Structure 1
Amino acid sequence: MNYNSDKAIESSEQDLLGRVTFSKQLGEAIYKYDGKDGLVLGVFGKWGTGKTSILNMVVNEINYLSDNDDDSPIIVNFSPWNYSDKDNLIGIFFEDLRIKLKLHSNKENMKQIVKAIDQYSGALNLLLYTSIVSSQNWIIMLKYPLKCLYRYIRGKILEDNDLDKVKANLERVLIKSRQKIVVIIDDIDRLTNTQIRDIFQLVKQVGNFPNIIYVLSMDREVVCRALESVHDIDGAEYLEKIVQIPFEIPALLKPRLREIFLTNLENTVKTISDNPKIDQSYWSEVFTNCIEPYIETLRDVNRVINTFQFRYKILYEETAFEDMVALTTIEVLKPQLYQWIGRNKDLLCSTYSHSFSALFRDKSNYRTSIHEELKKLGINTDIGIKFLSTLFPVFANDIDERSVRYTSSNIRETMRVAQEERFDSYFMFDLGGIPVSRYIINSYINILPLDDLIDTITEINNNGNIEYFIDELRSLVDTIPEKRLGLLSSVILNVLHKFSQNSQFYMLSAYTKAEFLVYDIISKINDENGRYHLIKSVLENINKEQLGTLASFINRIELSHGRLAGKEEHIEKQLITLQHLIDIELIYVSKINEITQSEAIIDIRDFHMAFYLWECLDKDRARTYLNYILKEDNNILKFICAIGSKWTSDNNDSGWDFPLEKYLTYISKDTIYEKIQEFDKRQLNTFTLEDQIKLASFVLSYDKSESYRVDEKEALKLVNEWKDNKS
């Protein structure tokens, strides 16, 4: 991976921010300055606005203009953050200046300047050393004696150590030499408050040396605050006394910054994914509300792009591009907002939950509460709420604001952060929270052959993740290649009977969702004849376990034609013509007649649906079969279990109903009750726990009104009593 360097540019050819003209003008102004007095220039700009890059281009311009000049300015970069001798910054400065000027000492005038600086620096250090001795600061004496003594001896050997005298000599030499020296001190705003104070004391004391131009680079606000904290003065006024000519870096135009960001982002994404899925309408909204408000400098751009590149490389197959860029932006530039979102998954991902709706019916009060929370975090609340409203539908002012991209299906399809199972991936690189990866799902849709399709969906179901898998497929139906439609629908129809029918209140079960999914997939096949032959092929190869699920599926087609139930349901599309439906019915009757000749079907999944369709299409054969198997007591118990229907209340109570019309035609209520009571409870474990509860529920409701409902907990209590008292 190639990361965008935060390193300052070295030349105008690398400039992305349009600073070349400004830099050249500043460099020309410094080069053409012909005053003999010292000069202090200030280059002011926020952190990340390219101050160092501008200084590099200024130096390049000075060197360019003085290319053929025998007395070209000497550029000296002084790095104050490297100094540790904080008690003698002025001495350190002149020591640094002397060393750098010695590089040019082949000229006679430069030799004189270096000698004069040696004298001045030696006198300064002698003054420091004698002040240490006189103050009897023994700790400092132990720290500095050899260094100070060396500098003193060097200065003493060279000349007399009278400070005023050597200073005057240095000034004369500088004037006589006519050598312009440009001292650049960059990144002053990165220093500590005390160091910033020391730098300005240095400039204040030596800023009037002739032919020396000081260029100070800093963030004005940071420096003013630092000076105020250590001097208890007005920082702005103090700066005005030191800096003679201020240069404000021109504000970077947003359109240019936007262009740089988008170009870098596009280049980054291309190195990771050949075909990223981007909803241009949604991306436009995300960029406007979630990214652009926070990007203010080129440094912001580079930091966000670099972090995004790292995260997206790991997560691009499991996350939405738009949401990943938005969240990366605040992770880098507004971490307090990023952390707040990460802590509030339950609120942010509950858009469609019943409990959430009940809890936050008063949307205005809810938004006010969030507004106050963001304010406490120091976040611009208007921008923060826009950010949240864009990524999380719960923050929309009203339902009318939610376009198609806010639907539950679209959020799942596009892998947005608002999807509860995917949320943690955006914050902890935790792919473990995703039950089935999008890579596996895409492979299922586009690549896997028949055997692998069956093995994969079976494994997913065995792992308890089938509902999530079906939800994912339903959201991606429109992406299934036409040539794969028949294969996928036939596989799901063949394994449908294995899926759970249990569901929470107001929620569809995996089984029901899969039924809808198959209907949707087959609907995508454009050729009606192709749809018919697909259903026919599946039906001709079913076993007894699939009789109930195929009956349920055929019944959906029946309803779309207004058959059997006597009314037409609101189903988007009739999958097959009426004539083809009649052909399908005949095939189903033939298969169930064939299977029941040798196998019992009373205990298959959805027996009630299989028998209902059979009875509608071939009443005599269906009833003859049922009357025959109900001669066995055990089958009577299986029959009542098969026709039980689950109910669930809004407080999550649940139980089983046994509608009279489903069994009174074949056997009386009294007979069923007697057979359950007579049943040897030692054989109870031959039934599943769910069927045991159904039997107990029937007994408990036997002498009650038809509207009476037995709670599952009450039925389970009776089951336990049976087991405790079995004889």
Structure 2
Amino acid sequence: MSLSADHPIDRPNQDAFGFDPFARAIAKSIAALVSPEGLVIGVHGPWGSGKSSAVNLIKYHLASADLKGAGDLTLLEFNPWWFSGADTLALAFFSELGSAISKSLPDKAKEAFQALGRKLGSASPLIEAAMNFATAGVAGGLSGGATKFVSDLLGGGRTVQEEHAELAKALRESNKRYLVIIDDLDRLSADDALLIFKLVKSVGRLPNVIYLMVFDRELTEAAVAERFPSEGAHFLEKIIQATFELPPPEADDLRNLLLGNVSRIMGDVEEDRLTRFMNIFFDVVAPNIARPRDVVRLTNALEVTWPAVAGDVDQADFLAVETFRLFWPQVHRAIYNNKALVCGHQLGFEPHALAKDECDRRLLASVPEAKQPDLRKALMRLFPALENAWSNRFYGADFGQEWRLQRRICVQAHFDPYFRFALSDQVAPATEIEAFIAHSGDGKFVREALRQALATPRRRRGTRAAILLDELTFRASQVPEANISPLVTAIFSIADELDVQADQAGALAIGDNQIRIHSLLNRLVGERLAVAERDAVLEEAAKHASLRWLVNFALRCVGQHEPKERERQRDEPLTSAEAAERLRALALARVEVAAAEGTFVQLPDFVSKLFRWRDLIGDGGVERVRGWLAEQLVDDAVVVALARSFVATGWTHAAGDVVARRITHLNRGTVEALVDPSAFRARIAELLANANLDVDSRGALEAFEGAWTQSDRGDFGD
């Protein structure tokens, strides 16, 4: 990191804005001045326009041996912002002036310089008296009242007028000229800045002394208008004999410097994103860059903020948002406060005129009307959804996939890092995804990465495994083709581990990690491989698949070839019909083994797996499953597992409710399809009569009985 403290340049070869020709001309004019009498030259420009750089270049050329007339010129810099208050400023002014000028003067003149500084520095009212003196000219005298005031104040001795005359005589006879540079007047308070002008106009007006004063004319005239309403622009005209406005930098020079800084900090922009990057640069960033200091401000901001989010946000979007933060903070705040609006979740259904008015009200209410068209254009570059309101243009869902892949700010999941300078736990760092993809051919790496993600909870809900699977789905096209088979095999092998309650959606939402794996297969296998290749990859993975996932996946593949399913399905089945049958046979064989070994009953959601077993068998499946289950009811553990699995949990959302309500319910038809209800409830009653029954099992059995009773009444609330 290399932050700029806004240091001005001091050599022509550092000039990126074309200041040097201006500075060279001013230096040439100063060097050619003969016998100046307190001449004041002004260089003015807005705050941050590069005035100090121009002054440094003037000094550089005055120090050049090639500049005619500069040899007898002594430069003195007075920095008034080091001091504050009338007394201190006056004393410092003459102390600094005297330290440079009095070296070449006779002793009597030196004493006059010191005395003048002491007298003027002893009481600020003397400045006003000296102003009266300066108005009359160096050879003139103070008015009667002013002379008496000075004499009384000093209590005798030589007056300010006499000290000044002695000093002027010595300077006029000297063969030396002096250039006093007073920069950074912009940093002073209005009163202190006006005091410096008064000092220069009054007692500072001396033979062979030239002043170069650097200031913001607009600010200075505003201060004069406030303090001296009758003076206006005439105040500066009385003090400054020659004034020059610093030529503004060329817009291209400012933009090129900023682009160079951005490239250094943020790195190169990918070729396929370059056009959009430059569109955003010219529509959002460039209109706010009018002065060199604007470049420095934005550069320094990026130096601090970009490293925290590098690679995890879109470069163009981040540059634009930082521009809003620095130059339009009220719009920046409005964007942050209206995430759902700008990301499009509150647009699309309102009539066009209403949507436009709403967006104007919520995003641009604090912006002057003349600036609103430009800011609308800038905001639409970042948030395409706003084009719905402001230009009546709509985007399809395909664009959203691309925007999410690019981690654009218009995607709600990627919105917050642009403002918080850190990723939320709802998003995986790009480096993590890239590393996963790079190692996706290593089954051990894939399993360990997913297990680690599964063990990492998110702040609100769920695990990082869900985030990793989602990101992998969106980036499926980036997985090398050679890595597809080992990646799918690794995921199949731990699919049951990934099927955790934490990653299952709650009320009013759907989704779980098994659905995420199906989505990944669609993108990774279905969209990228020919059917023969898909069969080979998926059958190989199935050999290593965990049982529940294998059953789930095999039934999906078989179902895709059933007539009713084919009528609804527009996409091509994931496997061929022959491969689907082989997957069904493999899954059935694995279930039969588990049933025989007693592990099948231990599967979560036991009832659901019983129906899937039935579906795998096909004809005769009902009798086979019912017969096996009737034999198992002698086992207390099977009765408890069945009771637990028969009772389901769901969500309901009644009109007027703010949040959903959880409900438990039991489907009698499900029970009757698998067991004889009377015999099953008799076994439950038998177990509940056992005083030694453990608490967990008793709770499951009582929950079944309660749900059965509720089903009698038609009451399904929990």
Post-superposition Cα deviations, 1:270-328, rounded to whole Å, max 9, x if no partner, equal 4xxx8879833442343234422332222221222222122222331433333332333
Q: Could you tell which deviates more after superposition, 690-699 or 68-77?
A: 690-699
* Cross-structure match for 1:701: 711
Alignment of 1:214-225 (within 5 A): 214-225=211-222
Q: Does 1:516 align with 2:513?
A: no
Q: Hey, what's the Cα distance between the residues in 1 that align with 2:241 and 2:598?
A: 102
Q: Is the 8 A contact 2:75 2:179 kept in 1?
A: yes
SS in 1 for 2:16: coil
Which amino acid is 2:590 matched to? K
* Cross-structure match for 1:618: 617
Change (3 A) 1:52 1:657: same
Which amino acid is 2:526 matched to? S
Q: Is the 8 A contact 1:278 1:322 kept in 2?
A: no
* Cross-structure match for 2:388: 397
Q: Is the 8 A contact 1:348 1:418 kept in 2?
A: no
Change (3 A) 1:675 1:278: farther
Q: Hey, what's the Cα distance between the residues in 2 that align with 1:673 and 1:369?
A: 64
Post-superposition Cα deviations, 1:500-526, rounded to whole Å, max 9, x if no partner, equal 344331432333223212332222543
* Cross-structure match for 1:194: 191
Q: Does 1:81 align with 2:84?
A: no
Shift of 1:19: 1.4
* Cross-structure match for 1:439: 431
* Cross-structure match for 1:260: 257
Q: TM-score, normalised by structure 2?
A: 0.79
* Cross-structure match for 1:630: 629
Which amino acid is 1:74 matched to? T
Residue among 353, 361, 367 paired with 1:369: 361
Q: Hey, what's the Cα distance between the residues in 1 that align with 2:565 and 2:23?
A: 84
Shift of 1:375: 4.5
Post-superposition Cα deviations, 1:189-220, rounded to whole Å, max 9, x if no partner, equal 11011111101111221465333322211111
SS in 2 for 1:54: helix
Which structure 1 residue ranges, 5 or more long, are not aligned?
134-151, 705-709, 717-727
Q: Hey, what's the Cα distance between the residues in 1 that align with 2:454 and 2:325?
A: 37
Post-superposition Cα deviations, 1:463-488, rounded to whole Å, max 9, x if no partner, equal 33133333222222222232332233
Post-superposition Cα deviations, 1:247-283, rounded to whole Å, max 9, x if no partner, equal 112222322211111111112234xxx8879833442
Shift of 1:560: 4.0
Residue among 265, 276, 279 paired with 2:273: 279
* Cross-structure match for 1:16: 16
Shift of 1:379: 12
Q: Is the 8 A contact 2:168 2:206 kept in 1?
A: yes
Shift of 1:627: 1.7
* Cross-structure match for 1:461: 454
Q: Hey, what's the Cα distance between the residues in 1 that align with 2:700 and 2:33?
A: 95
Q: Hey, what's the Cα distance between the residues in 1 that align with 2:418 and 2:360?
A: 26
Shift of 1:435: 6.3
Post-superposition Cα deviations, 1:564-605, rounded to whole Å, max 9, x if no partner, equal 645344354433333333333333333333433333535534
Change (3 A) 1:130 1:617: closer
Q: TM-score, normalised by structure 1?
A: 0.78
Q: Is the 8 A contact 2:313 2:414 kept in 1?
A: yes
Change (3 A) 1:131 1:197: closer
* Cross-structure match for 2:181: 184
* Cross-structure match for 2:31: 31
Q: Does 1:119 align with 2:112?
A: yes
Which structure 2 residue ranges, 5 or more long, are not aligned?
127-149, 655-659
Change (3 A) 1:619 1:263: same
Q: Could you tell which deviates more after superposition, 579-588 or 605-614?
A: 605-614
* Cross-structure match for 1:60: 60
Q: Does 1:486 align with 2:478?
A: no
Change (3 A) 1:5 1:691: farther
Post-superposition Cα deviations, 1:599-640, rounded to whole Å, max 9, x if no partner, equal 353553466665555545533563343122331556577557
* Cross-structure match for 1:680: 688
Shift of 1:245: 2.1
Change (3 A) 1:454 1:339: same
Q: Is the 8 A contact 1:421 1:433 kept in 2?
A: no
Which amino acid is 1:529 matched to? A
Q: Hey, what's the Cα distance between the residues in 2 that align with 1:434 and 1:502?
A: 14
- Percent identity, aligned pairs only, is 20
Alignment of 1:266-665 (within 5 A): 266-270=263-267, 279-339=273-333, 341=335, 344=337, 347=340, 351-352=344-345, 363-371=355-363, 374-375=366-367, 386=377, 388-392=379-383, 395-398=386-389, 401=393, 403=395, 409-417=401-409, 423-431=415-423, 433-434=425-426, 436-447=428-439, 449-462=442-455, 463=457, 464-465=462-463, 466-497=465-496, 498-500=499-501, 501-543=504-546, 546-547=547-548, 549-561=549-561, 563=562, 565-570=564-569, 572-599=571-598, 601-602=600-601, 604-605=603-604, 614-616=613-615, 618-620=617-619, 622-631=621-630, 632-633=632-633, 638=641, 648-651=651-654, 652-655=660-663
Shift of 1:535: 1.6
Post-superposition Cα deviations, 1:112-137, rounded to whole Å, max 9, x if no partner, equal 5x85364244245346659999xxxx
SS in 2 for 1:567: helix
Shift of 1:242: 2.2
Post-superposition Cα deviations, 1:65-123, rounded to whole Å, max 9, x if no partner, equal 65565843222211111235622645532332221235xx5xxxx435x8536424424
SS in 1 for 2:213: strand
Shift of 1:172: 4.2
* Cross-structure match for 1:723: none
Alpha-carbon RMSD across the aligned residues, in angstroms, is: 4.2
Change (3 A) 1:233 1:401: farther
Q: Could you tell which deviates more after superposition, 678-687 or 33-42?
A: 678-687
Which amino acid is 2:446 matched to? L
SS in 2 for 1:521: helix
Which amino acid is 2:437 matched to? I
Q: Could you tell which deviates more after superposition, 208-217 or 17-26?
A: 208-217
Q: Could you tell which deviates more after superposition, 276-285 or 516-525?
A: 276-285
Q: Could you tell which deviates more after superposition, 251-260 or 564-573?
A: 564-573
Q: Is the 8 A contact 2:591 2:600 kept in 1?
A: no
Q: Hey, what's the Cα distance between the residues in 2 that align with 1:202 and 1:184?
A: 14
